[in-house]
Amino acid sequence: MPKIRNAAIHGYGVYIPMFRIKGAELAKVWGKNASDLPVKEKAVAGLDEDTVTMAVEASKYALKRAGVDASSISAVHVGTESKPYAVKPSGTLVAEILGTSRKTTSADLEFACKAGTEAVQFITALVEAGRIDYGLAIGADTAQGRPGDALEYTAASGAAALVIGPAKNDCVAKFDYSVSFVTDTPDFWRRSYERYPVHASRFTGEPAYFHHTISAVNTILSENGYSVNDIDYFVFHQPNVKFPLAVAKVLSIPTSKVVPGLVADMVGNTYAACSMVALAKILDIASPGQRILATSYGSGAGSDSFVLTVCDGILEKRNRAPTYTELLSRRKEIDYSTYLKYRDKIRM
Amino acid sequence: MKPLTSRPPFYWRLRPFIYRLEGSRCSVCGHFHPLNRVVCRRCGSRTLERERLNNAGRLVNYTVVHQAQEGFEKTTPYLVGWVEMDDGTNLVGQLTDCDPQDLKVGMTIEMVVRKLRVDGDSNLIVYGVKFRPLVQR
Ligand SMILES: [Zn+2]
């Protein structure tokens, strides 16, 4: 599958809003048993936050790490399923707020939870082709679950951004290979003008998340002559904590290579940002020379998988902006009624 | 003053300052002005250069607003802070991601861009500068 010859992460940034609601609080409201919840708690965007503001925060940290001035950025692609506007790009707003070059490609991408890694596919290709020097690939979402629905426990808010440019010695990690694997699968969707998505429980696990995630991982490993042993960290999309661990079991991946990249337990499922936030969490701790396999999953359905090698630049650059753990420690717990207000579920 | 509604062109003109704290600095006396200016308000000089303020500063003082200006009713009570940016420029703006008990006069703050309000009739989302306690590294 496609070898990526000359594209690398120069900077990465995460943003996690400070408000958290516990799974137990949601379970209490809906009379559910709090002992078997998909995640412990989830991050909730504040009243003045949305996909654009969170994308900007993550991008500012990514630019800071990269040491690249915003004016050198000439592609801004935001992957999201919660655009503030149905029509009006989020990318141009993000670009204007950051002060990127005017000569910038910009489009919002939609592919449920893999829209962010779809932006990575685009921007690595633009860089490799020599069309741009640097671009921003962003995954950001303020995911919404219908009150009382199973998704309400996990649908969270967050963002992650990567500054991608040509492979150089001082980069954070270089891309080696990528693969995309898609089929038409009706596991989750939201029609125009609908506020909340519909999910077909029958499809959620086996034919959707597991089939695409495992197919992408197997393809990228076998076609490039890698085995599980050649990879130091595996990063997955996380609709909950069980799913990525189940994939690890199927593929005989030691849990020690998966657990460091788990984020859903404390942040929830940040949709298009999820696997990118998890990748950032690994970049906070990985050493030069280590190999990461990052795989997203988006309903509808498909997975993007990337093999990356961590480079020397990581050691200095990771300290230039707040880490995943530092952002996570900024925490204010809210109750269900505050949550309803923040997520605009109270309509007057 | 005109009611705060349906003014997309007004916010559009403010973008350099409310998105990025860009303005003009007087080369003679050093005074910083939001947006583009031809003549310095302080000394009358006509040599001004475009500049973007550093996004950090310190909190000089703050107040809690309970009686909201039109368009901000949903967010009351909210905090308004007086901040001195690193270059000495004084700005006033909303504080976010904090409660009064989190604030200390003199603390380091940083500029963030947030949703300020939704423009009445047009439903346009207005984004702009707010301040918050610096996210610690
Ligand atoms: Zn002057």
Query: How sure is the predictor about B1, in pLDDT bands with cuts at 50, 70 and 90?
Result: very low
Statement: residue A202 has pLDDT above 70 = yes
pLDDT in tens, A44-83: 999 999 999 999 999 999 999 999 999 999 999 999 999 9
**Which residues of chain A make contact with B127, given a CB cutoff of 8 A?**
52-53, 93, 97
**Which residues of chain A make contact with B133, given a CB cutoff of 8 A?**
none
Mean pLDDT of chain B: 92
> From ligand 1's centre to the CA of B35, what distance in Å?
15
pLDDT in tens, A259-314: 999 999 999 999 999 999 999 999 999 999 999 999 999 999 999 999 999 999 99
Find the CB nearest A84 among B114, B125, B136: B125
pLDDT in tens, A4-23: 999 999 999 999 999 999 99
Q: How far is CA A245 from CA A39, A234, A248, A305, in A?
A: 13, 10, 5, 17
ipTM: 0.94
> What architecture is domain B8-133?
Beta Barrel (2.40)
Whether the CB-CB separation of A144 and A155 falls below 8 Å is answered with yes
Q: How far apart are CA A87 and CA B89, in angstroms?
A: 37
Lowest mean pLDDT of A167-171, A240-244, A273-277, B77-81, name the range: A167-171
Query: How sure is the predictor about B4, in pLDDT bands with cuts at 50, 70 and 90?
Result: low
Statement: residue B110 has pLDDT above 90 = yes
Q: How far apart are CA B17 and CA B25, in angstroms?
A: 13
Find the CB nearest B137 among A46, A85, A326: A326
User: Are residues A56 and B113, on separate chains, in Cβ contact within 8 Å?
Assistant: yes
Q: How far apart are CA A27 and CA A240, in angstroms?
A: 16
pLDDT in tens, B95-108: 999 999 999 999 99
At A327, the amino acid letter reads L
pLDDT in tens, B34-47: 999 999 999 999 99
Kindly state the percentage of chain A with pLDDT values over 90: 91
Query: How sure is the predictor about B3, in pLDDT bands with cuts at 50, 70 and 90?
Result: low
Mean pLDDT of chain A: 96
Residue to mutate among B11, B20, B53, B97, with most A CBs inside 10 A, is B97
Mean pLDDT of A92-118: 97
Q: How far apart are CA A192 and CA A155, in angstroms?
A: 19
**Which residues of chain A make contact with B15, given a CB cutoff of 8 A?**
96
pLDDT in tens, B18-28: 999 999 999 99
Find the CB nearest B113 among A84, A97, A326: A97
Statement: residue A2 has pLDDT above 80 = no
Statement: residue A210 has pLDDT above 90 = yes
Q: How far apart are CA A208 and CA A183, in angstroms?
A: 9
**Which residues of chain A make contact with B126, given a CB cutoff of 8 A?**
none
Provide the whole-model pTM: 0.96
Statement: residue B6 has pLDDT above 70 = no
Q: Give all domains of chain A, ordered by start, each with its CATH number.
A: 8-171+321-340 (3.40.47.10), 173-314 (3.40.47.10)
The answer to whether residue A237 is catalytic is yes
User: Are residues B74 and A52, on separate chains, in Cβ contact within 8 Å?
Assistant: no
User: Are residues B125 and A57, on separate chains, in Cβ contact within 8 Å?
Assistant: no
Q: What ranges do the domains of chain B cover?
A: 8-133
Catalytic residue among A113, A171, A274, A311: A113
Q: How far apart are CA A116 and CA A80, in angstroms?
A: 7
